[in-house]
Each structure stands twice: as structure tokens, then as C-alpha cells.
A = this chain, B = another copy of it.
Amino acid sequence: MSDFTPPVSDFRFLIHDVIGLGTVANLPAFSEISSDLVDAILEEAGKFASSVLAPINRIGDQEGARLLENGTVQTATGWKEAYAQFCEGGWQGISAPEAEGGMGLPILLGAAVAEMWQASNMAFALCPMLTAGAIEALTAHGSDDQRALYLSRMISGEWTGTMNLTEPQAGSDLSKVRSQAIPQDDGSYAITGQKIFITYGDHEMTENIVHLVLARTPDAPAGVKGISLFIVPKYLVSDNGEIGARNDVTCVSLEHKLGIHASPTAVLSFGDQGGATGYLVGEEGKGLAYMFTMMNNARLAVGQQGVAISERAFQQALDYAHTRKQGRDPQTGDEAPIIVHGDVQRMLMRMRSSTDAARVLSIYAACQLDLAHHLSDETARANAQARADLLIPLVKGWSTDLGVDNASLGVQVHGGMGFIEETGAAQHLRDARIAPIYEGTNGIQALDFIGRKVLRDNATTLKALLADIRETMRNSANTPVGLDHAVSQLEETTGIVINRCSKDDRMMQTLATPYLRQGALCISGWLMLRALDALDTSDASASFKEAKRRSCHFFFGQLLPEASFMATQIINSDMIELHDTQPLF
């Protein structure tokens, strides 16, 4: 497997030149952030990704995580040591509040750093990703005591966190959660039930694991309003944080998965001995609402996995295309590496350009989250939040689909060698395939986008963004092929979506997926124009700027036109029969 080169220059360009560091540095919360600090963090994180995480990615795939006969989960060679180094660097707390022991840095920067971890070793990076979600949930909803006891140890990485939502009958539909939480005299709850697909649900890298578990209290109403959130530590903890007895939660099995082999995906059984001790977070019945508060960050993070695996697959394919000799240079007639062939260049450009577009979308969305949290003006905060809410299903849905496509293209560039596991290209495809599924399938992202984010406010947030796109185009010295048309078409299909869905709400399901993709392409096109504009004043190297210029133009001419294909699907959707009865295939 090829080395991983952290795309630090790309992040520097995006943060300094495209977004503008001032966008976050001008916020009171981040007044101490300097350009140098940003660069230093990107450099250090990149170094950690390339020198510690990337080298164990392949061995993690080969060995996987294993459930031993004694019931413990053994991570792959090097995992425990890498995790210890990760904690030493303080990386877990990069975007956590300083008051809780974190670095208190913008999500913008945390996102850049996280993408590098995902690219270097997706199976490893899932562990901090899940802990970050648990940190966010407890920061927002945990009691003072809970935060004092659990949060600081999770921010330091001393303990990891998990999310226990899914049950066999409750996947996308969490209203079906059946796990039980029975109140005990001491104020705790006895938790019973089985949870599946629990990422890093068990391991021995840390001395404790903090499970966040959705369960129902005895008198809870049916449906999602009866679900509460509980802390269930793997080992019970004394008030001063000392590890006590094993809690009544066991890892029953690990899944045998297509990819991310080194990430232990556990079936956890709670309460086989009568009940695991759990502690209610916040109020009863609000479990799902609490989960929603951390959903944006989690979905952003998964979307970034799509960008990350695209980047990694691209680097590996590019490396191979430079070294593999086959055929002749069309100019000189000499034996040549396959990168001289136009069709290979097309594949590499598809990967490069779509990765750049998905990256700028994710980084822009991350910045909107910072603004939503920290702008002083309430309306401005609300607007930033609405824009982040609009964009995040696009980041998650589109980028993770791209991750699969790009990893598949990466295999293709390798020819026959791509199909051989030793090459490493196939691992990226196997790893990438989970991202369109978890943290809300991409079908659910599309429904979220069309329903909650566009129809619910009658496209107000979307229209404000489209107005910004038009303004950027007016002010730009560049003329991006097709962007104007793409914006007009998105306006047109938005009208169709509003019109048709108001007549038949089943239409939303029919239109959602092409509408998400059209939206993502169009809005990314805007950000690629902003990137193109920013090249003029960037202090990046000439070769970097030339490469990005080509990437932007390739996007406009070759990738953005897919938005028009999606628009046609939407326009033609009135021909799709809504099946009152069982559909016929």
C-alpha cells in the first residue's frame, strides 16, 4: 500500500484563502487563533496521520478485531500503541470546550484534522469519531456530576465512548427500540436489551468504555417519545473516578464485515445478569432529541470519510499510474507509465476534482457550524445553523457515494493489480462501502434534505444560498461553464419539488435522491468557483495553484453537468407510478 501524504496544502488553501481564517478567528470564542497555530496543527495532525495511523491501516484490515474466548476484544497489532499516542497528542479534545479540558478549536479545524485521520486509517479513526459524538452529547445534556466524572476522561481519550442505538428490529426506525431501563432505588436504572452494530463496542485499548444507550423506561409512551438516553460504563466508576466492578454488559459477538475490519462492530448484550447499571442523561423521554443534537457533527464526520477515502484512493492510484509502465507515450512513442494515457488521466481527474469539490463542501459546512455556535447576533446564528442543517445531508449523502465511486475508480486505475488484496486499492473500496449506510442511510439523508431542510421552510434557506451563489458569480472574474445553468435548474426543480410534494407526499421519497445529488453538485460548484477565485491571491505554490485550477475547470465541464441529469430525473418523475399496491418488478 502506498504512503499517505496529508493534504495540508489543501486545507491551508481552503481555510486561509477560500473560507478565510477571519471567518472563525473573528468570533470571540476563537480570538486567540492565529494563522501560525492553524498551520502548526495541520502539520502535526498530518504527521500523526501519515507516520502513525497510515502504516497500520493494512495490517488492521488483515488481522481485524477479534473476540477472544475469554470474552475480551483484541484490536489489531499497533492499535493500542497508536491510540495511546493519539491521546498523548490531545487530539480527542480538539474541538471540545476548553472548560471541559478540550482544545476549544473551531469545528472547521477539527474537521480538517479528522479528514486526515479518516484518510490514513478509517478503521482506527472511527474510534475517536464515536467518542466525539458521546462527548458532544454529554457536554450538551450531561449533569455537572456526569460531566465531571465521564467527560474529562473522554476528552483526554482516557476512556472511549460508544453510541448504542440500533437493535435488530430498530435500524433506521428507532421508534422500535425495545431495550428496557428500570428505575432503581439508588437513582440508577437497570438496563436490559441487545444492541447491534456498536462501533468499538468493546476493546482493551482503554481501561473503561462509556456506552451511551437508548432504552425505554417502564411507563414510557410508545414510539420515539418514550426513549431515554443512559450512560452505561463498561466498568462501574466510583465518585472520584476509580474503576470498580464490571458492569452487566458483554460483547456477544463481532460482525464479519466487508470492510473496516479493524473496527470492532459489536453485538452488546445488556443485563444478562439482571441488569446493567445505567445513569439517565437529562430527562426521560428525550433520548432521541439528545441524539439529534449531535447528529450534524456525526453526519459531517461520516461525510468526511467519503472525502477521506477518495483522497487516499486517489493518492494510491496516482502513485501507481506514475510507476506502472504499459503502452507507449502518444507523443514520443516511448514506453511510458500509464499516466500518459488520456483515459487514465480522466479517471484520475474524476477522482481529484470530485474529492476537491466534496472537501470544500464539508469544510464550508463545518465553518457554518462554528458560526451557528459562536456568532454574536442571534439571527445570524440561526441563519448559519439553518445553512449548516441544509448542507450536512449533502455532505453525508453525496460525499459517501463519491467515496465508493472513487475507491472503485482507484481499483480500476490499477487494472488487474487492483483486484489483488495485497495492492491495498481494494481495501479502500471495502472500507468506503459502509459510509453510505451508517449514521442514517443516504436515502434518509435525501429525505432529510428534501423534507426537513427544503420543504419545511419552503426553500427559504436554500434560496438565500442560491442568491449567494449568484452574487459570487456576478463578482467573479472567472466564467465557470454551466454553473449559471445549474443554479437555474436547481431553482426549477425546487419549484417542481414544492409543487409535486404538496400534492402527494409520497413524491418526496421518489424525488429525494436525485434532488440531493443535484443540490450537492450545484452548491459544490459554487464553492469550486470560490476556490478558483481564491487562487489569484493565494500564497500557495504555482504548481498547487495550477493543479487546483485544472481541478475546478474539470468539475465545471465534466462533473457539474450531472446536475442536469438529476434535474431530468426529477422533471420526468411524474411518469413514475406511485404504487398504491405492492410494486411490481
Contacts and interface: CB of A to CB of B under 8 A. Distances in A.
A553 interface: yes
Contacts of A258: 411, 419-421, 426, 429-430
Contacts of A562: 565
Contacts of A256: 420-422
B512 A343 contact: yes
Given A512-B343, A513-B346, A169 B325 contact: yes
A463 interface: no
A290 to B, nearest CB: 22
Nearest to A328: B173
Contacts of A426: 258, 433
A551 B420 CA distance: 36
Nearest to A577: B550
Interface in A339-362: 339, 341-349, 352
B510 A346 contact: yes
Contacts of A418: 437
A557 B547 CA distance: 37
Interface in A415-431: 415-416, 418-422, 426, 429-430
Interface stretch (A33-41, A80-88, A368-376, A568-576): A568-576
Q: By CB atoms of chain B within 10 A, which of A258, A437, A442 has the most?
A: A258
Give the dominant DSSP class at A's interface: helix
A257 B416 CA distance: 10
A326 B176 CA distance: 9
Interface residues of A, number: 92
A380 interface: no
Given A343-B512, A550-B577, A558-B576, 15 more contacts: A171-B415, A171-B416, A258-B420, A339-B582, A339-B583, A343-B447, A343-B509, A345-B509, A411-B433, A419-B434, A426-B433, A543-B584, A546-B584, A558-B572, A562-B565
30 contacts: A172-B327, A173-B326, A173-B327, A255-B419, A256-B420, A256-B421, A258-B421, A258-B430, A314-B585, A318-B585, A330-B506, A330-B509, A339-B583, A342-B506, A342-B507, A342-B509, A343-B513, A344-B443, A348-B583, A412-B437, A416-B437, A419-B437, A481-B575, A482-B572, A546-B584, A557-B576, A558-B572, A562-B565, A564-B565, A565-B565
